[in-house]
Amino acid sequence: MQHSQIAISAERGSNVHLTCSAQGSPPPQFTWYRDVNGHSIPVESFGRIQLWGDLMQIRRVDAQDAGRYICRASNKFGEQRAETHLSVTSKLNARIQPRLQVINSGESVTMNCTVEGYPVESVEWLHDGVPVLSSQDTKIRLLAPLVLIVGSVGRRDKGMYQCLVRSDKENAQATSELKLGDTIPELQYTFIEQALRPGPPVSLRCSATGSPPPSFTWLLDGEPLSEIAQGHRYAIGQYVDQSGDVISHLNITSAGAEDGGLYECIARNTLAGVEHKARLNIYGPPYIRSIGPVRAIAGIDTTIACPYSGYPITSVEWSRGGVELPLDMRQTSR
């Protein structure tokens, strides 16, 4: 007989011929079996399977035809057996539906990769050409090899996603684009705390992204600059650059010690707002801006900020009715 074990591979839809070469005297009779869960089941001519002695033909082979086939050659003096391992391959094809998804900031998105063909030996997901699981981003996880979930979608999650499937002979890929709908503002650039000499102009800048594009508000020690700046030397501007970032400047001409304080920029759209604050210290004598009425709710903690400027400041003291604070454990200063 031939080798006791051989392996062949066939493409789905093709016609396959399994041969069983044997000789003997008298000439042997041939019987074909298929291994099913460890049991040898006789194969008979029917439909797509035809037997001609030492030859078995399977027409239009499919994945269900893959497996172990056994040929038995026998005459009155004995028998011999040979095995053929048949594997069936199919051209790989992958797709992700839908091919475009528009997701609002903070929502989750699920991508399903549908694969046709076999065998599939590996599945890999890419985001703009980079393997998604190499970034250690806890928002991204695989529910199954072909199901990708991106949670709490943000600006960096938009782009092209690819599902790449491989076999030992070929690979196929599918792509899907993730676009952002409405997104909460994200600060891209903020000013830093600094100490300056009086006289020169000062410019503070913040930039943010978001959809709809956010609008900036500037505060000084918690008070809107639009109210403080009446007749003052403040100029606030805002524009959108080519990349879509909203940029806002706060310019102060001839900055003096009284212009120091805790400055804050707030970027806000219809979804949410994000803020940044830092002190601007200008060398000079102490200066305190007036504190307007403070409204509080009984039983709720209340914080009152001292709107001071000048630099350096060695101490800040609080009093109520001429009595130095804090009076008891309910009051703290820092």
Q: Kindly state the tokens that stand for 329.
A: 């454990």
d(CA 305, CA 100): 49
pLDDT band at 326 (very low <50, low <70, confident <90, very high): confident
d(CA 12, CA 60): 7
Is residue 223 classed exposed, middle or buried when 0-12, 13-18 and 19+ CB atoms within 10 A define those classes?
middle
Q: How confident is the model at residue 1, as a pLDDT?
A: 58
pLDDT band at 228 (very low <50, low <70, confident <90, very high): low
DSSP secondary structure string for all residues of 225-283: HHHHTTTSSEEEEEEE-TTS-EEEEEEESS--GGG-EEEEEEEE-SS-EEEEEEEEEES
Ramachandran angles phi, psi of 165, nearest 5°: -115, 145
Nearest CA among 119, 290, 269 for reference residue 187: 269
Find tokens 């030492």 and name the residue.
Answer: 54
Single-letter amino acid code for the residue at 332: T
How does pLDDT run across 238-282, given as a tens digit for each residue?
A: 999 988 899 999 999 889 999 999 999 999 998 899 999 999 999
Nearest CA among 69, 173, 153 for reference residue 108: 153
Q: Kindly state the tokens that stand for 253.
A: 């001409």
Q: How confident is the model at residue 155, as a pLDDT?
A: 80
Q: Kindly state the tokens that stand for 224.
A: 């809107």
Q: How confident is the model at residue 145, as a pLDDT?
A: 87
Q: How confident is the model at residue 16, as a pLDDT?
A: 94
Q: Is the pLDDT assigned to residue 121 strictly greater than 90?
A: no
State the alpha helices, DSSP H only, in 48-197: none
CA distances from 136 to 123, 139, 141, 172 (A): 18, 9, 10, 25
Q: Are 67 and 25 in contact (CB under 8 A)?
A: no
> Per-residue pLDDT averaged across 21-49, rounded?
91
> Per-residue pLDDT averaged across 169-174, rounded?
88
Ramachandran angles phi, psi of 56, nearest 5°: -120, 130
Q: Is the pLDDT assigned to residue 213 strictly greater than 70?
A: yes
How many Å from the N-terminal Cα to the C-terminal Cα in the chain?
95
Q: Is the pLDDT assigned to residue 229 strictly greater than 60?
A: no
d(CA 117, CA 113): 13
Map residue 324 onto helix, strand or coil.
strand
Ramachandran angles phi, psi of 325, nearest 5°: -105, 155
Find tokens 């959108």 and name the residue.
Answer: 240
Distance of CA 232 to the CA centre of its chain: 47
Nearest CA among 272, 271, 282 for reference residue 220: 282
Higher pLDDT, 117 or 231: 117
Q: How confident is the model at residue 232, as a pLDDT?
A: 67
d(CA 54, CA 32): 9
Q: Are 167 and 93 in contact (CB under 8 A)?
A: no
Q: Kindly state the tokens that stand for 185.
A: 């503002």
d(CA 50, CA 13): 16
pLDDT band at 42 (very low <50, low <70, confident <90, very high): very high
Q: Are 265 and 190 in contact (CB under 8 A)?
A: yes
Nearest CA among 131, 147, 128, 21 for reference residue 84: 21
